[in-house]
Structure formats: structure tokens, C-alpha cells
Amino acid sequence: MWDLYCGIGTISLFLSQRAKKVYGVEIVPQAIDDAKNNAKINGITNAEFFVGKAEEVLPEFYADAKKNITKGSEAIKPEVSAAKYTDEADMLTPDVIVVDPPRKGCDEKCLDTMLKMEPQRMKFRRSMSCDPATLARDLKILCEIHLFICVVEAGSFNKAAEELYISAPAVIKQINSLENSLNLQLFERTHRGLIITEAGKSLYQDAKYLIQYSKESLIRAQEAMNHNEEIIRVGISPMTPPEVFVELWPKIQKIYPEMKFKLITFENTPENAREILANMGKNIDVIAGIFDETMLELRGCDGTEISREPFCVAVSIHHRLAKKKK
């Protein structure tokens, strides 16, 4: 992971407990000295710190490392402040980028490079500025990327505007702003409609993944916060309603007063149901429904019989089955 504007390494050293390697960048030499000393005092060996401007170090490193990996060079240019890095391939695809900029906010080169790095996994643990104006500027680019995704999936500015409940000119203005900020042409405007460019396709795939991953990260963070609480996550859908748990709740509360239930909604399609059952315990702990032993064994799950319900069929009074009592 990268920690840009790392200061004395407060965030870097904390996250090093969960990271394979942490790289910190800070412009103040004294702060880097303190960060190295803090790492030494705490016995942390997987953190490295370098002096330099994040908006210079990251783009220079990216350009040189990308070139050297392609050419098979042994090291990046010695004059670059990141020359001490040994595993360029890993550094080009960080799992996490932490950004804690000064008042002026993130430099656009820095933001652009983070988008270009195309990590296997990436999440912004913190992206903020002391200056509301620069924070707004940084968030503006991220919001425009979200709008860009909507335009790609809708297929036109007008349809995207309808889905977002804003005007089409507002959508066009934001897409134009995004293209100018990134210096990329994301769409070709023709009389037949929009055609996404190769650059647009690349950005769409990466941005889509990042947004989905950030949502999953938030869920995992919330789960981590409640890790010590006795919570059972109940999966519910129109086909698997929670009534059975509502009926059992008073009885369970008497036996386990600390136990809590959390309802997790899911779309009960065959594909989704198979995925949930195969990963039971990851996001959902239990589901109330109709299962047989063969299905449970196939999905690697266990089942407990809660109740037996009569199977009823509604038929017309004129149907021959209506005359049968059993």
C-alpha cells in the first residue's frame, strides 16, 4: 500500500499490521526521520518511508517503473526519490492508497496517476483536505467518474440524466469536465449517438470495480465494528420472508438476551442463491426457507427444522379437487 502525505507515519504504521508492505511519502525530511524511528521503536519492518512531493514521486515512479518493467531493467532511475523500491510490480498495483493532503488538496497529477495504476484492489481509506475548496475539487473528479459510469451503462446523456434526475446539459457539462481533467476522450459524439472510446472502456472497467469494492469495504468495516457483538445476519427476500424469526424472537431472547438479529436483503435468483449458500457465513449467516438434505449437502451447508407447514393449493370451487377434504 501507498501512504501519500504520510507525515510521521501514523496511518502507515497502523495499517502495516494488515499490509504486506507499506510505502510512505512525505515532503518534510524531519517527519520522515520520525516515521523511521517510530517504525524501529515498534519493531515494524515492512514499512519504508521516502522524502519527496507526492505529486512528483508517484507520477515519476509510475512512468519510470512502467518503462523499466516493460524493458526488463534492473532498477529505476537513481535520481528518482523512489529508487530504493525493490518490487516495482507490486508497487504499480497497490491494494490500498491512503491520501491525507495539505490545504491545497491532491494535485491533479497525483489523482491521475492513482487512476492509471489499475490496482488489483484499491480503496481510499481517507481522502480529505483541510481546505473545503480543495476537498470539493478532489471529490468533484470522483463524482464525475460515478456519473461517467451511469452514462456508459445508460448509453446516452439523456437516459443517464433521466436515471439521475438531472438535466442532460448538466450531464454533458460534467463529462466534458472529466475529459478535460483527465486529458482523455472518453466518448465519440456522433449523429447516431455515443460511442465509448478504448480509453473510456478501460476507465469504465476500473472505475466500476473500484466503486463496487468501496461499497464492499464499507460493509466489511461495519462488520468489523460489530465483530464482538453477538449478531446473526438473516438473509431475507420475497421468497424467504423473516416471519419465522419474528415468531421465534421472544423465545430466543429469553435464552440469549445478548443475541441480536440483522436482516440482510438479497435478490433470490437461482444464481444468487447458489452463491450465498456456497459462501454461508461470509455476508449472511442463516436463511429460512424450504431445503432438502441433498441440496444442503451439495452446497456444504447444514439445516435445522424449525417447523412443518401444511401445503395448500387454491383452486376454483368448480374444480374437482375442491370437493376433496384430504
Chain segment 176-224, per-residue pLDDT in tens? 988 988 888 999 998 888 899 999 998 888 888 777 766 766 666 666 6
Which of 70-74, 220-224, 282-286, 316-320 has the least mean pLDDT? 70-74
Length of the chain: 326
Query: Is pLDDT of 140 > 60?
Result: yes
Strands 97-99 and 124-127: parallel
How far is Cα 245 from Cα 229, in angstroms, rounded to an integer?
Answer: 19
Phi, psi for residue 22 in degrees, rounded to 5: -125, 135
Percentages of the chain per state (helix, strand, coil), in multiples of 5: 50, 15, 40
State if pTM tops 0.75.
no
DSSP calls for 196-257: E-HHHHHHHHHHHHHHHHHHHHHHHHHHHHTTTS-EEEEEEBTTB-SHHHHHHHHHHHHH-T
Query: Is pLDDT of 75 > 80?
Result: no
Tell how many helices (H) and how many strands (E) occur in the chain: 12, 10
